[in-house]
Structure 1
């Protein structure tokens, strides 16, 4: 495995008067062994906008750990230029990107680009995106997604968003940011804990648990309007919301009838249905990719292990067998694996299980990993972990080769959730 260490300091705006701006630091600690060399030329046209867009594209690709940037030599090449691909091949590039950014009279910007295979000397296509001064980085993310998909064969996640909770100066902030940590905004600020954020399948809403009523209560929060409603506020604990793939239901954990058990509830809070029946504690539900089953954690067998039950209930079957402590199952969006937290020699580490072969691989060497969350293309897994007594976020590829570390200097960062594909 090749290794690089690079720090990118990004502004993380905290929209609350109680906190000053914090800095999100992304450290790339491991990259893929066979990175694709790609050259991104400077885009002619509106120079300020072009620098932001191309800078975003280059940062996205390099941060993924799958690409190596070839020196473009400050060369400006638009999408219509006849490119001498042999020259770029000689410089070590497998792929080359040229483009331009133009501004219309009404102030709108158009970013155009074309991607080439320098080895085969052919065009791989291109696109044009209408954007604005406020959306330049979004245009860069979309271009990076296009390049990523054409060169790897899988969808890119640069246009997606992440949610996480920052604890600082006695406050809890539910933050929403781009996948690279920039463009952060605060969805909720509270003096009481906020935990377990979960994205709706269309990316328009977050379900989460808030303790603002001095007990755990589940809310669904519209990110566009800021409006929210209570989904579960029964006697006892209401926790661990997880969306069904069609967005109509949430799997939740309620203790209203005794021990914590898995229930399903409609997204508006109606139609509560009990899913599990055990004398133990059943918690941390997650729907399978096809919505047919629910993975969850239970101590019904004596120690915390991962189980699976039909989405409408029935007999549960045990899934995890290696080790005496396996919790927080997270099925991958492609349905091929589950990520979870396992305890090995006193350390809580991220593991992944191939559901077909049941083979298990431990992906981290951390001490206190928690809250895994898959990227929507199933390639990366975001987790909360602890370094020096402070909560940070880390991301690791599903094969363990690519690693990143994300920290906020102003406080602890926990409870990560990776959002769905950009729509």
Structure 2
């Protein structure tokens, strides 16, 4: 029995349960169902001249910060304030804002836009710096996300992820679509459209490629898709199932799960499809590989102990690395491992109480915490800063994406109106 059938790797099943949606480029909408207990009050003035551009920069920044669950927006009024304008910071402090942002959007001679801003601490009445970002009109939303990232890092001490991207799969009519969007679900574009299911997308470390499994050949085949060019490379099309691609941190190799030798096992392959060699050496099923951030270890799901659990082996292979070590012990059915970017946390899906829930385990202490109150969770994916986990679940009777902070306090639902969306993957930092 292959890994899809035995472990309930629900990607195949849920791909067949998608409901149709009307718009090919349907945008994700986000509802925040939880916020942090200590919100940072900030006022972001309307940027000067932003009405002359195609994008309301300040509105995107406010929405980003509110969506993080760590900021509250103080009403800035309607008057635009430029980054060089004189600002009475004391008055903003009196209105409850601990920080203030001003900025401008200026068309350039070559048809682009120069976005500038300045961030102030109202208590110390000091500038915390700013940036100048030049982009075409089509890049103004991304410029706004970069401004929000700057603010988040300066005030929270952690790099923001607003300028990262998401990938996910929706179904429109009879076609499956791999879509790429901004982190807020907007600016969605179709990378691939197929009459057959597309599952398990995962981003390359540099954010220019996505590996995934497509059934267009009437069987699961692993591809690497170069997003800027649209060029695709077959990475694994062996006999049997080819599934569960995972990028190594070097961006040159992938781990995949193949059943070419009978039972599904973990293999390593070059990103161009060459150099295939076996890593795991179980007599049962080993699948769902994912790398540690340093690339030295591979975590994976195996039923070698009788039921699916998470194990860890050397990235050089189980035989050369001294065998695999079991990692999860709480719960009788654990799958879909993902390691946080700092290597400290393991996210996974555990079956219990009649459903599947997202859990996170501290890899140093073994402490385990449930992060969700839903029962159909799958496909966890860490944000690049390790602060949030994106996953698929069901809400209101339909498939949605959700994000939760690693402490479980901040929750978001990302949905497509009138349809279902699955198979999420959160992209890396963009340089």
TM-score normalised to the size of structure 2?
0.92
Q: Counterparts in 2 of 1:394-413, with a 5 A limit?
A: 394-413=402-421
Q: Structure 2: which 5+ runs fail to align? A: 1-20
Equivalent residue, structure 1, for 2:398: 390
For residues 329 and 252 of structure 2, the distance between their equivalents in structure 1, rounded to whole angstroms, comes to: 32
For residues 133 and 168 of structure 1, the distance between their equivalents in structure 2, rounded to whole angstroms, comes to: 28
Does residue 115 of structure 2 align to residue 111 of structure 1? Answer: yes
Q: Over residues 288-310 of structure 1, what are the superposed CA-to-partner deviations in whole Å (9 max), with x where a residue is unaligned? A: 01100000000000011000000
Q: Counterparts in 2 of 1:225-240, with a 5 A limit?
A: 225-240=229-244
Give the alignment's Cα RMSD to 1 decimal. Answer: 1.4
Question: Which moved further from structure 2: 162-171 or 236-245?
Answer: 162-171
2:351 to 317, 334, 343: 343
- Asked if the contact 2:293/2:343 (under 8 Å) is kept, the reply is yes
Equivalent residue, structure 2, for 1:11: none
Give structure 1 regions of 4+ aligned residues with deviation exceeding 4 angstroms. Answer: 17-21
Question: Which moved further from structure 2: 391-400 or 44-53?
Answer: 44-53
2:195 to 183, 191, 195: 191
The SS at the match of 2:346 is strand
Q: Structure 1: which 5+ runs fail to align? A: 1-16
- Asked if the contact 1:252/1:264 (under 8 Å) is kept, the reply is yes
For residues 52 and 81 of structure 1, the distance between their equivalents in structure 2, rounded to whole angstroms, comes to: 19
Q: Counterparts in 2 of 1:215-364, with a 5 A limit?
A: 215-314=219-318, 315-364=323-372
The SS at the match of 2:193 is strand
101 and 23 in structure 1: CA distance in 2 versus 1, 3 angstrom threshold: closer
Aligned residues: 407
1:162 to 159, 166, 169: 166
For residues 397 and 221 of structure 1, the distance between their equivalents in structure 2, rounded to whole angstroms, comes to: 29
- Asked if the contact 2:26/2:188 (under 8 Å) is kept, the reply is no
For residues 50 and 288 of structure 2, the distance between their equivalents in structure 1, rounded to whole angstroms, comes to: 49
46 and 320 in structure 1: CA distance in 2 versus 1, 3 angstrom threshold: closer
Question: Which moved further from structure 2: 104-113 or 144-153?
Answer: 104-113
Q: Over residues 106-157 of structure 1, what are the superposed CA-to-partner deviations in whole Å (9 max), with x where a residue is unaligned? A: 3221111110111121111111111222111111111111001100111111
- Asked if the contact 1:338/1:353 (under 8 Å) is kept, the reply is yes
Q: Counterparts in 2 of 1:9-28, with a 5 A limit?
A: 19-20=23-24, 22-28=26-32
21 and 231 in structure 1: CA distance in 2 versus 1, 3 angstrom threshold: closer
TM-score normalised to the size of structure 1?
0.94
1:22 Cα deviation after fit? 2.9
Equivalent residue, structure 2, for 1:365: 373
1:76 Cα deviation after fit? 2.1
1:19 Cα deviation after fit? 4.8
Equivalent residue, structure 2, for 1:84: 88
